[in-house]
Structure 1
Amino acid sequence: MELLNGRGSGNPTYVKINTMMELTKNFRNLNKDDVFLAGGKGASLGEMTYAGIPVPPGFVVLSTTFDEFIKKSDLAQEIDAILDKVDHKEVHLVENASEKIQGLIKNAVMPENIAKEIKKKFKQLNTEYVAVRSSATAEDGVENAWAGQLDSFLNTKDDNLLGKIQHCWASLFTPRAIFYRFEKGLHSTKISVAVVVQKMVNSEISGIAFSVHPITEDRNQIIIESGFGLGEAIVSGQITPDSYVVEKEPRRIIDINIATQSKGLYRITTGGNEWIDIPEPKSSSQVLSEAQILEFADLIMKIENHYGFPCDIEWAYEDGKFYIVQSRPITTLLNEKHNDLNRFTNKNTSLEHADGLPVYFEMTMAGFTDRLRNNNLSSYEIGISHFMKDELDYISLIQDQNKIGSAIIKDFLNNPSSIYNLYKEWAIGYEKMLDRFSVVFDYDLKKFSDKKLLSLSDDLYSFYREEVSMPGFTDGFMFYAEKRLNDLIMEYCDINKLKNFTEIFTTLTASTEPSFFNEKESDLSHVSDTESKNNLLKKYAWLNSSYSGYKPYSKKNLEDDLKDVKDPALAKKQLSDNKLAKQDLIKKHKFNDEILAIVKLTDLFIKWQDQRKVYTLSYAVLRSRILHEIAQRFKFDIKLLEFALTEELPLVLNRSLSIDVLKNRRDSGVLFIHKNGKLQEIIVGEASESFVAKLQAPENSGASEISGTIASRGKVTGKVRIVMTAKNINEVEEGEILVAPMTRPEHLIGMKKAAAIVTDDGGITCHAAIVSRELGKPCIIGTKNATKILKNGDLVEVDAENGVVKIIKK
């Protein structure tokens, strides 16, 4: 009888358990609905077996068997006691807890009935070697959190099978998994693990395949990559495989690329894998014949047709037969058509234009996450982010801002507390985020292990996306409310024969809450020593950063700011005066309920929009620092990794996602399409460029003036300085007119120098509107085309009393 080394000493004994309980299931008795019993891997292998797809035979040690093992080994209370003492914010405590729990599971005695059942099922496979793989099971797709962290063992034999299974069970309590439980509030939720035991194919040939071309995204093409020996050599990128392109309709081979393979990875008699030289002429020969290529293409189409989506497939070939080892969706190809693009026109779309890269912008791309939903608020139904080829430049498009803005106002009119409560809920996560930023920013990433570094990357993404959440609807309100309030006040003035529209509009939309700019000025006024300076450098570490990544707020930046500190009492008085003026105006006039609702919401959303900027930029800082360390350690080009989304990063590092996909995004331009807060499609190349080109407002070089919305009143004359992205903000000189698509915190140094600010986009709660009021500088927002009509050096008058920019001399 097999027995693992148990705790304690003396003669070995087995623990008796319920013999009626089903402990294992063969693949043929499982399907895609059995995730909670067999985990994701086990259910997928069962589904393919059920569909008649050739899968190496095997069985799954069910998750309920693991639960019974924990129960009968009396480990539940010990594990709970260890977890109860964990402060998940302290890394060393999490690691200590992980070590203890994994030790308990690995060293526990295997119950007799489980051991016998597993041994019986192994014997039925009639094989010497099996692969043993963990397969986590949890509700709501939490299984993904364990991906790449749970253990797998190849070339496992009868004599060490039970030990490897207990190691798989123990891997449910890795440091990352424990941390994730606490972050998600799952430490009291049942999460279990199944174990897949599968006959190992001793591959003569192996490889990967895509049922849709992963680079060109041509859905009528299949890509097959093949090499001699075991598939690990291709997946790890250690050999260059042959590649074949097969057209689906009509079914034919349209391209064959033969690579020379001088060595291959093969299993040896002792059970391990070994690199063996491949002599000529075999090393430079075609790996699969044309007949085999077409045979395998038929199998690939069978898999895609069964699942109903494009698939990424790992396969092996032994004794004249193809076997499928794994099949999963191609994550970058989720929609077959671009019909959603047709809903965008330059009349119904808000364009936000600035510098940025996909990986730092991904939170904003999603727009809005489930944690902040209620009956009227939803994410952008359709949102698109376009990243220009060869530039740190993006355009963000929001198609349904009218729907979002009107829903917010309607919700507020029906129940004002609903929006306030939503903000309070979000603010709790925001405060946690500020604490987390302070902790993670101080990490010495070079001391992190590879596994710990990748775990931190995933945990950061999950925390910002789920624990805090991107309040993207603030943009929807901003764009809609500015237009709606403008129309309502214009109508009010016409009915009452009033001629002070500008005064009423700017008074009602003036800031009454301090912004981060006010807070920073106040902090600067209290700097007294080196320690207080260092605290400010850390607190505002995100200030100079952007969607292009981390740019430090340096000691020189701080010293420059200290030379130009504004008296915080003046800002406080201005906010107080704004509040009193607004109250007096409301008492004087009989504004309707909708106007009053927009005014109250504007006070809230100015603050919320401001905090959202801290959210997005603090994420960009931490993501950038982690990504640079990953790039350096794993020898990847950082400029390519910045075109991979966080969820794609593990696929890039293990070579499952071709680096050519990222190169194509960078070099050809890329559209990311989100629908209801979830990534739907990625469009690369000419289709993305032509789509954005048709939305760009036409230039009107003959125009003598440009109109927009007044954000801060005043009138000045000066020369134009176009600032398309933050990278050229330092070009702004004293007294110039700063003209930009939209401003962000990283533009602040130029805004201070400018005599006035003009933007293409923005609404009453946008950054340019808030900061220009605080700086006391004229500002006109939402001109749509100022950056296209105006040129550097043009002499203009910014009349922010009437919302007009007049061109005096070009």
Structure 2
Amino acid sequence: MNSSLNKFIIPLSAVTKESTHSAGGKGASLGEILTTGLSVPEGFVITAQAFDEVLQNNSLTYSIKETLQQCNTEEIHTLENASEIIQGAIMNCRLPAVLEHAIKHSFQELGASHVAVRSSATVEDGKTSAWAGQLETFLGVTEDTLIESVKHCWASLYSPRAIFYAISQGFLDTPASVAVVIQRLIDSDTAGIAFSVHPVTQNTQHILIEAGLGQGEAVVSGSITPDSYVLNKGNEEATILSTTISSQEKMLVRKENTIAWQEIAPPNSKQKLTDKQLAELHKAIITLENHFAFPVDVEWAFADEKLYITQARPITTLTKKYTITPDSYVFMWETGPFMPSYLSTPRALTDRNDVYPLCRLETYFDGKKCTAYLSEKDIEMLRHTTGPQFLDEAYYHDYILRFDKELALWNSFIRRVENSEYSDASNEKLIKDLTQYFEYMRDSIAYFGSTRPEFTFAAEERLRSLLKEQFPQSWHEAFFTLITPIEEDDIQREQREWQEIPHDDVSVAKHLSKFPWLVFGEFDEQKAAEFLKSRPLSDTSEEERFTKLQNAQASILSEIRDAKEAQYLARFLQEQALRRSLIKSYWMGSLYLARKLWLEIAGRLSLHIWDVLSYLTDTDIVSGLLEGTSLSSIIERRKTGYFITIQDNSVVIMDGEKAHEFFHDNIRISVEKDAKTITGQVANPGYYKGKVRKVSVGDLSTLEASLKEFQKGEIVVTTMTQPNMMVLAQKAGAIITDEGGITSHAAIIARELGIPCVVGCLHAMTSLEDGEEVIVDAGEGKIVRLSKKATK
């Protein structure tokens, strides 16, 4: 190769850890892996200097900087406009003929028909990892599409979301570039990821391997449920501690000039890796950890029985004190023990980023109550980048299709679990169903997260804008009329059906099976049935109300200039409200439906079921079942407190004093408990003066206690309302919640009952006291405190 091009094209075999400035982090890591003797798919790197040269030759360096200066994160269209201008310029730029020839020549020397084209950022890790994380990868690229794919990788440095990160985190002027790694595409038989330190338990002597058939992207993206293997690192030979086999229904494969899904019929329920392959992976992972001198997470593939390492990243934070990005946090929700055995919300962030692209969620249990916090920057990012995607009806249609498919799978699984007997089941059977239970719980939490206010913000703002144009004085009333659902939700359906059926034991059991969320946290069928029979009845006649509401909505839409857009926005907000309530019902009800599974697990561990649910992780449970590990000390330690955070895309749990110290050192949030006024978001307009009653419903017993204490006309103050709180809400004069937006469950039932409601107050549960008198001004979204004296 011409020596003048050496700085633009580098064979992977010539790249080392010292090459980050030219080959980027990913390229440097791959070159370093080669020095260990492990196999990496052949390839070369188009250096960051080549990208810089192309920008300069096309006079883009200054114009890009000038365009970015016009961006304002408060105005999303400025980011989109800048991205469109910059990306368009990059896609249309001309490569120097000698560089284009060198790229194609290097491709031909690989002797591959298809390659993988991956972006490799040169920005510093940690400081700008969120920016680097937005860059593109393309699989199944041919010589004909090679240059275009390279340009796409370059252009991805300036997507709207990447620009938002750059500005909001204050490093717009940080020198950043991108290299492109070109590698022979491996037609893998089996592929996946591995961790040299278990990412959940942080057990340094355990290796976790996840595997699926086909291309590894299916495992990495969380699109399939992989097999999971835990191996003992301490032994020279691989010792398999646990194996969880999943049924795989589809896999990613190369088809002509693309990578596409291929159905597996019938689904493959066999072990994806042989013991020999596990042993080979075991050895490779230890080699990489020893080489990097850090725990590593590894992407790997087997093709024609040969092992390839496709990526390895040091997990440096596991070897030092944990830190989180300094930021301001806002309260998300509060409850009793979080049940970290689910790890649902954090795993939704790490495994289902396609549905819930949130970066940070910090969860803290102080020994009595559990609180969760979101980063203010993340909230702004979601509002201005992810939320606006739902303005596109085609995007929303695809979202619905995915949601409906996953909900059907979840329902099929949980009904199978409900009808299974576990008393004679093997530990392996318990673990298999428990693992799948966690996976579905994770997915439901991800979809629940995607109904949060940050995701509906853009649609709300656009609908308000259309209504203000037509109804400048009465847009507020028109807005709430349009977004109120005109069909039964699960709560209304349950109450109607309850009054239509006889209340004998068989009918009640069937009703509980259909609406299990009614008895959240109860595992005794007889107690559940007794509660159902004793609860107060309510008026469930909704037909007339729905007819009036439908007519009112039609009247409003007939006067709007762009009725089609307004109709879509209203439908989207209505459906998100119903979907949010439905998902909450599913996960609350799942405990009752899976009671035989949970009770059997608790029995075999000789532990109380609530200790298992509240204080153990899935890996703890697996260890207890397979290895007979005593879990009592873990439970006692976590009862004093724990902190759940995300480190290197893995869920980490700290407990005891370490958790308390970490929370106080890292979470900056101030609550003015004596503030005269508390503000939130209007969920249903109105004005009400009354006394506060704080309600926290953790299980059936606390719900029953709340029903007895609550006096008609009191104001419900809660973190978030639950589906089984409807009877209590019917006695309330108003509702105040810390969490939620206009699609929240509280908003729905407040509109149904016609009472004022203010949501998203953040710290009403912390600030207000039982019995104190307040005014709920649900026209302005304010809670005005009249007296702090608590009266019973």
TM range (shorter): 0.5 to 0.7
The one of 274, 294, 304 equivalent to 1:309 is 294
Check the 8 A contact 1:393/1:725 in 2, yes or no. Answer: no
CA distance in 1, matches of 2:532, 2:767: 36
Partner Cα separation in structure 1 for residue 287 and residue 248 of structure 2: 38
Give 2:575's aligned residue: 604
Picking from 522, 529, 536, the partner of 1:555 is 529
- Preserved contact between residue 712 and residue 772 of structure 1 (Cα < 8 Å): yes
Which residue matches 2:644?
671
Counterpart of 1:46 in structure 2 is none
Residue of structure 2 aligned with 1:383, choices 354, 360, 371: 360
SS in structure 1 at match of 2:645: strand
Residue number in structure 2 paired with 1:719: 691
CA contact (8 A) 2:684 2:751 kept: yes
Asked if the contact 1:709/1:783 (under 8 Å) is kept, the reply is: yes
Given the alignment, which residue of 623, 638, 643 partners 2:615? 643
Q: Distance in 2 between matches of 1:385 and 1:372?
A: 16
Post-superposition Cα deviations, 1:663-714, rounded to whole Å, max 9, x if no partner, equal: 44432321232777x536758423433157632433234x1x4333222233
The letter for the 2-side match of 1:544 is: V
**Secondary structure in 2 aligned to 1:382?**
coil
- Displacement of 1:754: 1.9
Please report how far the alpha carbon of residue 566 of structure 1 lies from its aligned counterpart in structure 2 after TM superposition: 2.3
- Determine helix, strand or coil for the equivalent of 2:516: coil
1:377-425: CA deviations, max 9, x gaps? Answer: x533313241313225232536523433444553343x41321232123
Residue 220 of structure 1 corresponds to which residue in structure 2? none
2:746 maps to amino acid: A
**Structure-to-structure mapping, 1:54-73, within 5 angstroms:** none
Which one of 765, 768, 775 corresponds to residue 787 of structure 1? 765
2 CA distance for matches of 1:30 and 1:301? 13
1:351 is aligned to: 332
Q: Residue 523 of structure 1 is aligned with which of 497, 514, 521? A: 497
Q: Which moves more between the two structures, 506-515 or 364-373?
A: 364-373
- Aligned residue runs from structure 1 range 482-497, under 5 A: 485=460, 489=464, 493=468
1:796 pairs with 2:774: yes
Preserved contact between residue 362 and residue 645 of structure 1 (Cα < 8 Å): yes
Residue type of the alignment partner of 1:359: P
Counterpart residue type for residue 247 of structure 2: Y
Alpha-carbon deviation of 1:633?
1.0
1:389, 1:337 → 2: CA distance?
A: 20
**2:344 counterpart residue number:** 363
Does the CA-based 8 Å contact 1:709-1:781 persist in structure 2? Answer: yes
Amino acid at match of 1:713: P
1:180 corresponds to 2:247: yes
Q: State the match for 1:572 in structure 2.
A: 543
Equivalent in the alignment of 1:690: 664
Indicate yes or no: 2:342 matched with 1:342: no
CA contact (8 A) 2:736 2:759 kept: yes
Match of 2:729 in 1: 751
Structure 1 Cα separation of the partners of residues 523 and 628 of structure 2: 26
Superimposed CA distance per residue, residues 564-617 of structure 1 (whole angstroms, 9 cap, x where no aligned partner): 1423xx323323433332332233244699866543320221122122212322
Q: Which residue of 1 aligns with 2:418?
A: 441
1:517 deviates by 0.9
Task: Assess if the C-alpha contact under 8 Å between 2:470 and 2:559 holds in 1.
Answer: no
- CA 1:464–1:781: 2 relative to 1, 3 Å: closer
**Residue aligning to 1:761:** 739
**Residue in 2 that maps onto 1:147:** 229
Distance 1:520 1:622, change over 3 A: closer
The answer to whether residue 609 in structure 2 is matched with residue 633 in structure 1 is no
Equivalent residue letter for 2:356: S
Distance 1:458 1:720, change over 3 A: same
Bigger CA radius of gyration: 1
Offset, 1:721: 0.7
Structure 1 runs not aligned, ≥5 long: 1-28, 35-133, 156-167, 200-299, 313-327
- Out of 426, 430, 433, the position equivalent to 2:407 is 430
Match of residue 420 from structure 1: 397
**Is the contact made by 1:457 and 1:623 (CA closer than 8 Å) also made in structure 2?**
no
User: TM-score normalized by structure 1?
Assistant: 0.56
User: 2:441 matched to 1:470?
Assistant: no
User: Among residues 486, 489, 494, which one is paired with 1:512 in the alignment?
Assistant: 486
Alpha-carbon spacing, 1:309–1:403, altered in 2? closer, same or farther (3 Å): same
Secondary structure at the aligned position of 1:352 is classed as strand
The answer as to whether partners of 1:772 and 1:778 remain within 8 angstroms in 2 is yes
1:334-393 CA distances to partner (integer Å, 9 max, x unpaired)? Answer: 5856554413x14xx4512223423355223333686783xxxx5333132413132252
Distance 2:445 2:737 in 1: 28
Is 1:545 the equivalent of 2:520? yes
Q: Counterpart of 1:791 in 2: which secondary structure?
A: coil
- Tell me the distance in 2 between the aligned counterparts of 1:644 and 1:331: 24
Conservation of the 8 A alpha-carbon contact between 1:363 and 1:465: yes
Deviation, 1:515, is: 1.3
How much does 1:524 deviate? 1.2
Counterpart AA for 1:538: S
Distance in 2 (CA, whole Å) between partners of 1:781 and 1:143 is 36
Post-superposition offset of 1:646: 1.9
CA distance in 2, matches of 1:194, 1:30: 22
TM-score, normalised relative to structure 2: 0.57
Displacement of 1:499 in angstroms is 3.1
Q: Distance in 1 between matches of 2:674 and 2:350?
A: 39
Equivalent pair of 1:381/1:675 in contact (CA under 8 Å): no
The CA deviation at 1:767 is 1.2
Going from structure 1 to structure 2, the CA distance change for 1:786 and 1:335 (only over 3 Å counts) comes to farther
Tell me the distance in 2 between the aligned counterparts of 1:660 and 1:365.
Answer: 24
**1:332 and 1:357 mapped to 2: Cα distance?**
28
Return the match for 2:554 from 583, 588, 607: 583
Contact 1:542 1:617 in 2 (8 A): yes
SS in 2 for 1:447: coil
Judged with a 3 Å threshold, the aligned counterparts in structure 2 of structure 1 residues 191 and 724 are, in CA distance, closer, same or farther, namely: closer
CA 1:437–1:634 in structure 2 vs 1: closer, same or farther (change >3 Å)? same
Q: Which residue of 2 aligns with 1:320?
A: none
C-alpha separation in 2, matches of 1:370 and 1:609 = 20
Cα distance in 2 for residues equivalent to 1:197 and 1:420: 41
Which amino acid letter does the alignment assign opposite residue 740 of structure 2?
G
Residue 514 of structure 2 aligns with an amino acid whose one-letter code is: K
Mean Cα displacement is larger for which, 769-778 or 384-393? 384-393
The one of 493, 505, 511 aligned to 1:536: 511
**Structure 2 equivalent of residue 459 of structure 1:** 436
Report if aligned partners of 1:340, 1:382 keep a CA contact under 8 Å in 2: no
In the alignment, what sits opposite 1:733?
A: 711
Tell me: CA distance 1:479–1:543, structure 2 relative to 1, closer, same or farther (3 Å): farther
Corresponding pairs, count: 533
Identity %: 19
Q: Using a 3 Å threshold, how does the CA distance of structure 1 residues 371 and 668 change in structure 2: closer, same or farther? A: closer
Secondary structure of 2:415's match? helix
Please list every run of 5 or more consecutive structure 2 residues that lacks an aligned counterpart in the other structure.
1-35, 42-208, 252-262, 280-284, 298-311
The CA distance in 2 between the partners of 1:592 and 1:338, in whole Å, is 52
